[in-house]
A = this chain, B = another copy of it.
Amino acid sequence: MASSSLFSTCTLDKGSFGFKAIGFKKELMCSHLFNKLPAYSRVLTGVRSMKWNQNQHLSRNALKCNALEFENSLSFAVGKKFQLDDVIEAQQFDREVLSSIFDVAREMEKIEKKSPGSQILKGYLMATLFYEPSTRTRLSFESAMKHLGGEVLTTENAREFSSAAKGETLEDTIRTIEGYSDIIVMRHFESGAAKRAAATASIPIINAGDGPGQHPTQALLDVYTIEREIGKLDDIKVGLVGDLANGRTVRSLAYLLAKYQNVKIYFVSPDVVKMKDDIKDYLTSKGVEWEESADLMEVASKCDIVYQTRIQKERFGERIDLYEEARGKYIVNKDVMKVMQKHAVVMHPLPRLDEITVDVDTDPRAAYFRQAKNGLYIRMALLKLLLVGW
Listed in ascending order, the chain A residues whose CB lies under 8 Å from chain B are 25-26, 28-29, 66, 113-117, 122-125, 127, 133-136, 139-140, 142-143, 146-147, 151, 153-158, 160-163, 166-168, 171-173, 175-177, 179-181, 310, 350-353, 358, 369, 372-373, 376
| Cβ A172 vs Cβ B113 within 8 A | no
Q: Which of B115, B127, B310, B351 contacts A66 (CB 8 A)?
A: B115
In the complex, which of the residues B116, B140, B158 contacts A122, with contact meaning CB atoms closer than 8 Å?
B116
Assess the B139–A180 pair: CB atoms within 8 A.
yes
Shortest Cβ distance from A30 into B: residue: B115
Copies in the complex: 3
- Rounded to whole angstroms, the CA-CA distance of A380 and B7 in the bound complex is 37
Q: Judging by beta carbons under 8 Å apart, are A155 and B153 in contact?
A: no
Residue of B123, B147, B153, B171 near A139 (CB, 8 A) is B153
Write out the residue numbers on chain B whose beta carbons fall within 8 Å of the beta carbon of A369: 175-176, 179
Q: Which chain B positions have C-beta within 8 A of A28?
A: 113-115
Chain B residues with CB under 8 Å of A352's CB are: 168, 172
CB pair B180 A350 closer than 8 Å:
no
Contact status B350-A168, CB under 8 Å: yes
A335 to B136, CA, bound (A): 48
With known contacts A146-B151, A153-B142, A157-B156, A117–B113 Cβ distance under 8 A: no
In whole angstroms, how far apart are the Cα atoms of A123 and B119 in the complex?
10
